[in-house]
């Protein structure tokens, strides 16, 4: 138990770096997708650079952070197995499963782009980018307010956040279209 604070701190550090990777990788995907619309030689130069950047981010920061965050989380759960009987923890673990599904789908998108397969538009990828944001909000609020959460207000809040994010994406697309960037 004397190492609890260190284990918790390391868990939090790797959660933060994991989310940093999950926030940035879709941005690189967007730039990669938009680079496909450029003329040569700019297209080839940009795509090659984005492939290097995404590969380094994904394998040097994002995947190791996900694994280390999980290892420290398992260690904490080993030290405090009673947490698994708490409603907020079970719901949080459900969101962690969603986060891993999001991570895995991002990995599949990464592999497609590395193989020059583009199935997403940049606008679709902007919406995809908000998935990790919604999960982050849900997990942080669960951890901070725990049992004091009124679940109805929490669910309504997450849906409102999703709507606000989607409206922001549409507004951004409209502004880009108006400015001749699309």
Q: What is the pLDDT of residues 22-40, one digit of tens each?
A: 999 999 999 999 999 999 9
What is the per-residue pLDDT for 99?
A: 96
Domain ranges of the chain: 4-178
Task: Name the pLDDT band for 182 (thresholds 50, 70, 90).
Answer: low
DSSP state string for 102-131: HHHHHHHHHHHHHTT---S-HHHHHHHHHH
What is the per-residue pLDDT for 12?
A: 96
pLDDT at 181 over 70: no
* Average pLDDT of the chain, as a whole number: 90
Among positive and negative, which fits the CA dihedral 20, 16, 144, 147?
A: positive
∠ CA(66), CA(71), CA(72), 5° rounding?
A: 100
The answer to whether the bond into 7 is cis (omega within 30° of 0) is no
**Residue 168 and residue 51 in contact, taking contact as beta carbons nearer than 8 Å:** no
What is the per-residue pLDDT for 109?
A: 97
Comparison of pLDDT for 84 and 158, the residue scoring more: 84
| Residue 111 assigned ligand-binding role | no
Q: What is the pLDDT of residues 147-160, one digit of tens each?
A: 655 666 776 777 78
What is the per-residue pLDDT for 130?
A: 87
| Residue 11 assigned ligand-binding role | yes
What is the per-residue pLDDT for 65?
A: 98
Helix-helix angle 4-35:42-56, to 10 degrees: 170
Q: What is the pLDDT of residues 91-122, one digit of tens each?
A: 889 999 999 999 999 999 999 999 999 999 99
Task: Name the pLDDT band for 138 (thresholds 50, 70, 90).
Answer: confident
State pTM to two decimals: 0.84
pLDDT at 139 over 90: no
């Amino acid at each position: 138990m004397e190492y609890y604070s260190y284990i918790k701190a390391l868990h939090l550090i790797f959660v933060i770096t994991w989310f940093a990777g999950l926030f940035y990788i879709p941005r690189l995907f967007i730039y990669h997708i938009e680079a496909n619309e450029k003329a040569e030689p700019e297209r080839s130069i940009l795509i090659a650079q984005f492939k290097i950047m995404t590969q380094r981010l994904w394998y040097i920061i994002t995947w190791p952070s996900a694994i280390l965050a999980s290892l420290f989380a398992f260690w904490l759960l080993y030290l405090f197995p009673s947490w698994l009987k708490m409603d907020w923890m079970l719901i949080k673990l459900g969101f962690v499963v969603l986060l891993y599904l999001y991570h895995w789908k991002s990995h599949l998108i990464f592999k497609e782009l590395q193989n020059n397969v583009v199935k997403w538009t940049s606008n679709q990828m902007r919406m995809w980018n908000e998935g990790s944001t919604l999960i982050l909000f849900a997990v942080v609020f669960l951890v901070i307010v725990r049992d004091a959460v009124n679940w109805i207000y929490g669910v309504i809040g997450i849906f409102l956040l999703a709507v606000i994010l989607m409206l922001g994406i549409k507004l951004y697309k409209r502004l880009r279209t108006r400015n001749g960037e699309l």
